[in-house]
Amino acid sequence: MNINKYDKNRELFMKAVKVIPAGIYGHLGPAEGCFTPVSAYPFFSQQAKGAYFWDVDGNRFIDYMCAYGPIILGYNDEEVDGAAIEQLKKGNCVTSPSSIMVEFAELMVDTVEMADWVFFAKNGGDVTSFAIMVARAATGRKKVILVNGGYHGVAPWTQQEGYPGIIKQDVENNFYVEWNNFEEVERIVKEHPGEIACFMATPYHHPVFADNELPADGYWQKIRKLCTDHGIVLAIDDVRCGFRLDMAGSDQYFGFKADLMCFCKAIANGWSVSALCGIDALKDAAASVKYTGSYWLSAVPFAAGIACLNKLKKIDAPKHLQEKGKKLTDGLVSIGKAHGFDLKVTGVESMWYMRIANDDSFLLHQEWVAECVRRGAFFTNHHNHFINWALTDEDIKKTHEIADEAFHILKKRHF
């Protein structure tokens, strides 16, 4: 099997570090992206299409990260990009927003079961922060309950005291609970009557470096009732899961109704837009909060979003992505088992998390993932993955072959 070489990648990175902090900062970069070892991974892409991207050395990767979620249909989907280009010819970032904004809002309200209105921004973090502000404006309260290990972006309130740049005041209104621990949430609510503005969580727990956990039976129903009884806004961060579990919203998938829902990633197949959907009772509060951005009402991502959502509905994306994910992960697990490795898969199969559970240091897993990446299957070793619609059975078969060779090498090296 061909092993990738990355000479041009490295050369370009050495140029990048001179003019960009860290060379490539953030989750797509080698440090936060946990490229272990760095020599196994590409740094820069040249082009992308369907289920693949090619790096600057011409190596092709079957992409199981989908740019960390947005690319749900595959790169450069013709329908989505076609709609975007058509809109671009008419106008994008204009002093008066395009009427297509209304069209997109109507589609979102029709698609997301809980939604009576929608507010558009750019990134997921824009709308998670907005959700907190809306909850505070609506309730007059300031405290927020969050789940330990949950990720809601990078605004100061989402981080931890002790992190560089974060002060006590950024987080002092946060309470933290363990996932699935309803009693802990209940205790905090009862100890702080009339103080909690919002409970925010992802629909299921998908932290990094840890097995993903689905909600326990009845968890969300109990949380819903607690929030209703105590006037707490229930905000679901559906940025990562949105439109992958259920087109009507992940709250529907788990059998409850949220008051606010945050969407981004898969909403427009990579075109930059995010959305906060809300119930009628919070509409005035949302309108009252001062929150805006130069690019937030740009028309092209709206056009892309309309095309994307319509296509996702047409193809029944959640169902088929789940099927593809199951086919892939069942194969990975059984191949691992054949070589004596316990590859544990958790979460929902269309966006699964996996790790080799034979050791708790992640060392074996990092080695195996590196060997897969070197052979053209782009996995990460710390984060959940994503299936896209363009992935074929042929791609899955190729991935299984790569995984098999990688497991073989791992076994030879260690046992």
The residue count of the chain comes to: 415
Q: Which residue number, 248 or 363, has a Cβ lying nearer to other proteins?
A: 363
Q: Which residue number, 14 or 95, has a Cβ lying nearer to other proteins?
A: 14
Reading phi first (left if > 0) and then psi (alpha if -120 to 50, else beta), residue 263 is in beta
Identify the three-state secondary structure at position 29. coil
**Nearest distance, CB of residue 57 and other proteins, angstroms:** 16
Q: Which residue number, 292 or 361, has a Cβ lying nearer to other proteins?
A: 361
Give Cβ neighbours of residue 320 (< 8 Å, ≥ 6 apart): 389
Q: Which residue number, 7 or 229, has a Cβ lying nearer to other proteins?
A: 7
Identify the three-state secondary structure at position 206. coil
Q: Which amino acid is at 306?
A: I
**Nearest distance, CB of residue 8 and other proteins, angstroms:** 15
Q: Which residue number, 44 or 117, has a Cβ lying nearer to other proteins?
A: 44
* Distance of alpha carbon 45 from alpha carbon 43, whole angstroms: 7
Residue 168's nearest CA partner among 150, 156, 186, 181 is 156
Counting beta carbons within 10 angstroms of the beta carbon of residue 16, is it exposed (0 to 12), middle (13 to 18) or buried (19 or more)? Answer: middle
For tokens 């990355």, the residue is 6
Q: Which residue number, 202 or 380, has a Cβ lying nearer to other proteins?
A: 380
* Distance of alpha carbon 131 from alpha carbon 273, whole angstroms: 16
Q: Which residue number, 160 or 228, has a Cβ lying nearer to other proteins?
A: 160
* Distance of alpha carbon 376 from alpha carbon 109, whole angstroms: 40
**Nearest distance, CB of residue 293 and other proteins, angstroms:** 27
Counting beta carbons within 10 angstroms of the beta carbon of residue 8, is it exposed (0 to 12), middle (13 to 18) or buried (19 or more)? Answer: middle
Counting beta carbons within 10 angstroms of the beta carbon of residue 284, is it exposed (0 to 12), middle (13 to 18) or buried (19 or more)? Answer: exposed
**Nearest distance, CB of residue 165 and other proteins, angstroms:** 10
**DSSP character at residue 163:** B
Q: Which residue number, 291 or 362, has a Cβ lying nearer to other proteins?
A: 362
**Nearest distance, CB of residue 391 and other proteins, angstroms:** 28
Q: Which residue number, 17 or 93, has a Cβ lying nearer to other proteins?
A: 17
* Distance of alpha carbon 324 from alpha carbon 331, whole angstroms: 11
**Nearest distance, CB of residue 383 and other proteins, angstroms:** 11
**Nearest distance, CB of residue 129 and other proteins, angstroms:** 23
Catalog residues that contact other proteins under the rule CB under 8 A.
10, 13-14, 17, 21-25, 29-31, 34-39, 43, 160-164, 208-209, 360-363, 366, 382
Does 318 sit behind a cis peptide bond, omega within 30 degrees of 0 on the bond before it?
A: no
Please check whether residue 370 is in contact with residue 37, taking contact to mean a CB–CB distance below 8 angstroms: yes
